[in-house]
């Protein structure tokens, strides 16, 4: 400012020094606040969560749970795997949980309508049905229509279970009625009846069939396209650890989650 008096120069220099110190103090304060905020966000992803998930997700979610715990030290993920309709019933009756992953949108809608869900559910996978038989397919099942033969002891899911609802859709679309010898509450129970020799055939998801390898013979059928199930996931309002629950949901819907699901045979939503 073209001031030449020594006194004013000295005063100006002092003011500049004080301003510099003040600016430095403010910056340090801001840095501390940022560091504190980052630490707070990081530390929020800790502690225990309970995930209620469809039975068909057992292998993939168990793997993702291990990944989540490894990436977030101090966390512990517990699972309750069952038929989606049974899980909704448990949640409605007050069972404590942090995350719900359904094998169809119908049961997630029940959870939303029951005011159990925090925010909007996110679709993360799709799945379709396939026929499984005893190894070698001794009853020579080659099509969906073959399951109408009462000599083929067939097990299916109950209608209220997603895999059972999908079975009903295919029956309606094809005009085929399966004289099932039992209706199970979870797709894993259907698979168990076939692998144990209690049934000749069963309708399960392609992912479940892939998971047991040569314990069954798989028979694909084109009519399965009539009933593709979409899987949604959501954080629950009852969660006492919402930050960690949201982080687990984020992993499931991430590229890493999609990779694990795809390797198991799930398709993208």
47-126+230-264: what CATH class?
alpha beta
> pLDDT tens digit string along 167-177?
999 999 999 99
**Residue 12: predicted pLDDT:** 40
How far apart, in whole angstroms, are the C-alpha atoms of residue 30 and residue 26?
A: 6
> pLDDT tens digit string along 97-154?
999 999 999 999 999 999 999 999 999 999 999 999 999 999 999 999 999 999 999 9
Q: What is the mean pLDDT of residues 244-254?
A: 98
Residue limits of CATH 3.40.190.10 in the chain: 47-126+230-264, 129-226
Q: What is the DSSP string of 218-264?
A: EE--GGGGG-PEEEEEEEETT-S-HHHHHHHHHHHHSHHHHHHHHHT
Q: Which of 169, 207, 166, 165 is nearest to 188 (CA)?
A: 207
**Residue 25: predicted pLDDT:** 44
Q: What are phi and psi of 265, to 5 degrees?
A: 105, 0
> pLDDT tens digit string along 73-91?
999 999 999 999 999 999 9
Check the annotation: does 182 bind a ligand: no
Q: What is the DSSP string of 158-193?
A: -TTSHHHHHHHHHHHHHT-----SEEESSHHHHHHH
Q: What is the mean pLDDT of residues 201-210?
A: 97
Average pLDDT, the chain: 88
How far apart, in whole angstroms, are the C-alpha atoms of residue 235 and residue 84?
A: 15
Q: What is the mean pLDDT of residues 36-50?
A: 64
How far apart, in whole angstroms, are the C-alpha atoms of residue 61 and residue 102?
A: 12
**Residue 44: predicted pLDDT:** 84
Check the annotation: does 84 bind a ligand: yes
> pLDDT tens digit string along 52-69?
999 999 999 999 999 999
Count of CB atoms situated within 10 Å of the CB of 118:
16
Check the annotation: does 24 bind a ligand: no
Q: Quote the pTM value.
A: 0.82
**For residue 7, is pLDDT > 80?**
no
Q: What are phi and psi of 229, to 5 degrees?
A: -95, 130
Q: Which of 80, 111, 68, 59 is nearest to 253 (CA)?
A: 68
Q: Which of 78, 82, 116 is nearest to 102 (CA)?
A: 82
How far apart, in whole angstroms, are the C-alpha atoms of residue 199 and residue 207?
A: 19
CATH 3.40.190.10 describes domain 129-226: yes
**Residue 127: predicted pLDDT:** 98
Tell me which H or E stretch contains 119.
strand 117-127
Check the annotation: does 29 bind a ligand: no
**Residue 21: predicted pLDDT:** 40
């Amino acid at each position: 400012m073209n001031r030449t008096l020594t006194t004013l120069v000295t005063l100006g220099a002092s003011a500049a020094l004080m301003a510099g110190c003040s600016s430095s103090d403010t910056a340090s304060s801001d840095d501390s606040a940022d560091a504190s905020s980052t630490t707070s966000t990081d530390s929020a992803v800790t502690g225990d969560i309970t995930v209620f998930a469809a039975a068909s997700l057992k292998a993939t979610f168990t793997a993702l749970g291990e990944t989540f715990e490894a990436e977030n030290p101090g966390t512990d993920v517990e699972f309750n795997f069952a038929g989606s309709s049974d899980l909704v019933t448990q949640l409605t009756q007050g069972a404590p949980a942090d995350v719900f992953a359904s094998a169809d949108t119908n049961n997630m809608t029940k959870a939303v309508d029951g005011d159990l869900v925090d925010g909007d559910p996110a679709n993360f996978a799709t799945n379709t049905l396939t026929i499984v038989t005893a190894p070698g397919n001794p009853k020579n099942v080659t099509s969906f229509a073959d399951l109408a033969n009462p000599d083929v002891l067939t097990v299916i899911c109950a209608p209220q279970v997603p895999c059972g609802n999908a079975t009903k859709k295919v029956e309606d679309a094809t005009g085929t009625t399966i004289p099932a010898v039992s209706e199970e509450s979870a797709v894993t129970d259907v698979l168990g009846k076939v692998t144990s020799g209690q049934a000749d055939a069963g309708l399960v998801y392609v992912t479940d069939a892939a998971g047991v390898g040569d314990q069954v013979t798989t028979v694909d059928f084109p009519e399965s396209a009539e009933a593709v199930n979409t899987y949604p996931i959501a954080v629950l309002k009852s969660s006492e650890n919402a930050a960690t629950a949201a982080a687990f949901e984020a992993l499931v819907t991430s590229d890493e989650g999609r990779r694990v699901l795809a390797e198991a045979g799930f398709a993208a939503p």
